[in-house]
């Protein structure tokens, strides 16, 4: 990740900020975007992205032409703010999303990226929201305090913010398991629950069980449909079937309920690709968590079918070991520093390592990579039957990589030699 810092500065560093470019992070996104009265255009970019670099001049001019009266322009480095980018479905760079009258459901800008097109396109999207984007939503008030200004539970956390427009498709029609809290911003019991809810969501990230939150004072349709009469109301949704949640309200209670539900549900475990240092810290840095990291063959060696088979093996093991393990995979050679720190783990691929960032220990599987041996390995590490080695957390460095697109790999085309037109010599070469 450190290798990317100079590139970040080259796109939207201190000089760009002095010229009016607003740079947002997970900690400031709520204030810069979600709480802003008017529409906001957010560019999610990557420091190494050529199209992002090419967009910079037009973006800076659009910032001066449009902000702050028409539409506010903000940039987010998606490689360092991975959770934020994933929350808004960012798949490629640059991705420009306009947060208009409904800040929870941004619209993607699909127009051209030259200066004129960008300015006119964003101006048009800003106007399409009319005056609806200006007023703050009305909040219920109470003598208990805490009226307006609450931004929702999803900002900066793993909690999924839900509303009338997406509850049906994401929860009722989905295949996953959910606990959903219906809350009111002014409710004291809800505010007590919120940090526990966020802590539990962070621990459950990647497990296949999601925690959702619905502001019942705004999403009145879905709240009414599910009989919400008091706050907070918590319901468990199993593939769309709703039942009241009657468990405890600490993070430990919530996680325990989720894990028990997962073990009896048959819901497939999630095994994400390791793509950034932020993701590594988020998933593997949780207290009491062991990470099982598989290093899979290069896509040109295994093909898509071979890689899918390896991931299926991991998912089968992950389903039986969700309580203490988080499973990830990486393409062999994509994380050289990580592999080096793990005792040069991978003489060949696939390979499997168990890592505890909390304890600074790791173990390597020495057997063949199949479901039987991998299950024995992860179980043996938990029971203490497999020897572990020390490793400094600072040595476990992860760099940002592009997410696999699910397709077979393609051999890169060889570029022809660049001959000089005048003398027929190859450019950049000289005779001895």
Determine the Cα–Cα distance for residues 154 and 30; give it in Å rounded to an integer. 10
The string of pLDDT tens digits covering residues 85-127 is 988 888 888 899 999 888 888 988 888 888 888 888 888 888 7
User: In CATH terms, are 2-131 and 160-265 the same topology?
Assistant: yes
CA distance 331 to 302: 11
User: Is 404:296 a contact under the CB 8 Å cutoff?
Assistant: no
CATH class of 277-395: alpha beta
Q: What is the pLDDT of residue 67?
A: 57
User: How would you label 173-183 residue by residue, b for 16+ Cβ within 10 Å and e otherwise?
Assistant: eeebbbbbbbb
pLDDT of residue 142: 31
Q: How far apart are CA 279 and CA 359, in angstroms?
A: 19
Residue 252: the pLDDT is: 92
Question: Which positions are annotated as active-site residues?
Answer: 49, 52, 187, 190
- The pLDDT tens digits for 371-386 are 999 999 999 998 889 9
Write down the pLDDT at residue 140: 29
- pLDDT of residue 427 exceeding 70, the answer is no
What 111-118 contacts at long range (C-beta under 8 Å, 24+ apart), as own/partner pairs, is 113/51, 113/54, 113/55, 113/58, 114/58, 115/57, 115/58, 115/61, 115/62, 118/58, 118/59, 118/62
Residue 107 bridge partners (DSSP): 98
Label residue 182 by pLDDT band (50, 70, 90): very high
* pLDDT score at 3: 36
Cα–Cα dist 19/8, whole Å: 16
**Tokens, residue 61:** 């001019």
pLDDT band at 51 (very low <50, low <70, confident <90, very high): confident
Apex CA 92: angle with CA 86 and CA 93, to 5°? 110
What tokens does 46 get? Answer: 């990557």
Helices (H), 205-324: 220-225, 251-265, 277-284, 299-320
pLDDT band, very low/low/confident/very high, at 308 (cuts 50, 70, 90): very high
Structure tokens, 367: 């057997």
Confidence of residue 191 (pLDDT cuts 50, 70, 90): very high
Phi and psi dihedrals of 17, rounded to 5?
-65, -35
The architecture (CATH level 2) of 160-265 comes to 3-Layer(aba) Sandwich (3.40)
What's the confidence (pLDDT) of residue 133? 33
Does the predicted TM-score (pTM) go above 0.85?
Answer: no
- Position 418 scores a pLDDT of 53
Q: What is the pLDDT of residues 120-176, one digit of tens each?
A: 888 888 876 533 333 333 322 332 333 334 457 877 778 999 998 889 888 988 777
Q: Answer whether CATH 3.40.30.10 is correct for domain 2-131.
A: yes
Cis preceding linkage at 94, omega within 30: yes
**89 to 84, 192, 193: CA distances (angstroms):** 9, 29, 27
Chain-centroid distance of CA 96 in Å reads 17
User: What pLDDT, in 10s, does the model give residues 327-369?
Assistant: 999 999 999 999 999 877 777 899 999 999 999 999 999 899 9
What is the reported pLDDT for 151?
A: 56
Task: Evaluate the CA torsion angle 169, 173, 176, 181 in order and state its sign.
Answer: positive
CB 38 within 8 A of CB 133: yes
Question: Does residue 426 register a pLDDT over 70?
Answer: no
Average pLDDT, the chain: 82
What SS3 state is found at 161? strand
Q: How far apart are CA 150 and CA 337, in angstroms?
A: 42
How confident is the model over 266-288, as a mean pLDDT? 85
Q: Which residues contact 346 (CB under 8 A, 6 or more apart)?
A: 295, 332, 339
Task: Of 225, 223, 199, give the one whose Cα is nearest residue 140.
Answer: 223
List, in sequence order, every residue forming a beta bridge with 238; answer none if it has no partner. Answer: 177, 241
Q: What percent of the chain has pLDDT over 70?
A: 86
Quick check: bond before 68 cis, omega within 30? Answer: yes
Q: pLDDT tens-digit profile of 57-68? A: 999 888 888 755
Name the residue ranges covered by the structural domains of the chain: 2-131, 160-265, 277-395
393/175: higher pLDDT: 393
Q: What is the pLDDT of residue 299?
A: 92
User: Is pLDDT of 200 > 80?
Assistant: yes
């Amino acid at each position: 990740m450190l290798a990317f810092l100079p590139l970040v500065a080259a796109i939207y560093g201190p000089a760009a900020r002095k010229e009016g470019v607003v740079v947002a992070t997970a900690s400031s996104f709520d204030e810069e975007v979600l709480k802003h009265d008017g529409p906001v255009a957010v560019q999610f970019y990557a420091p190494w992205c050529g199209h992002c670099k090419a967009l910079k001049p037009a973006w800076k001019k659009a910032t001066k032409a449009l902000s702050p009266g028409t539409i506010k322009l903000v940039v987010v480095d998606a490689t360092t703010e991975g959770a934020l980018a994933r929350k808004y479905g960012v798949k490629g760079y640059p991705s420009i999303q306009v947060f208009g009258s409904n800040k929870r459901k941004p619209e993607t800008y699909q127009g051209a990226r030259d200066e004129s097109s960008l300015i006119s396109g964003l101006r048009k999207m800003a106007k399409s929201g009319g005056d609806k984007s200006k007023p703050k939503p009305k909040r219920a008030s109470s003598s208990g305090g805490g009226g307006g200004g609450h931004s929702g539970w999803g900002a900066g956390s793993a909690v999924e913010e839900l509303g009338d427009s997406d509850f049906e498709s994401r929860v009722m029609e989905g295949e996953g398991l959910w606990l959903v809290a219906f809350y009111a911003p002014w409710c004291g019991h809800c505010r007590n629950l919120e940090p526990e809810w966020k802590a539990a969501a962070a621990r459950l990230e990647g497990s296949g069980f999601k925690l959702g939150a619905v502001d019942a004072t705004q999403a009145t349709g879905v709240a009414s449909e599910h009989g919400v009469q008091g706050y907070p109301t918590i319901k468990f949704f199993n593939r769309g079937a709703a039942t009241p949640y009657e468990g405890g309200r600490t993070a430990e209670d919530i996680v325990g309920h989720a894990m028990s539900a997962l073990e009896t549900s048959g819901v497939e475990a999630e095994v994400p690709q390791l793509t950034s240092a932020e993701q590594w810290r988020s998933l593997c840095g949780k207290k009491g968590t062991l990470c099982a990291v598989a290093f899979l063959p290069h896509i040109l060696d295994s093909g898509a079918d071979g890689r899918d088979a390896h991931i299926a093996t991991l998912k089968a093991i992950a389903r039986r070991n969700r309580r203490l393990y988080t499973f990830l995979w990486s393409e062999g050679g994509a994380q050289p520093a990580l592999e080096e720190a793990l005792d040069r783990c991978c003489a060949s691929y696939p390979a499997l390592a168990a890592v505890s960032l909390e304890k600074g220990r790791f173990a390597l599987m020495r057997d063949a990579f199949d479901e039987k041996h991998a299950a024995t390995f992860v179980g043996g590490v938990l029971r203490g039957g497999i020897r572990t080695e020390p490793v400094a957390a600072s040595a476990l460095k992860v760099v940002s990589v592009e997410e696999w697109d699910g397709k077979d790999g393609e051999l890169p085309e060889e570029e022809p030699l660049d001959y000089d037109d005048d003398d027929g010599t190859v450019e950049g070469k000289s005779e001895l």
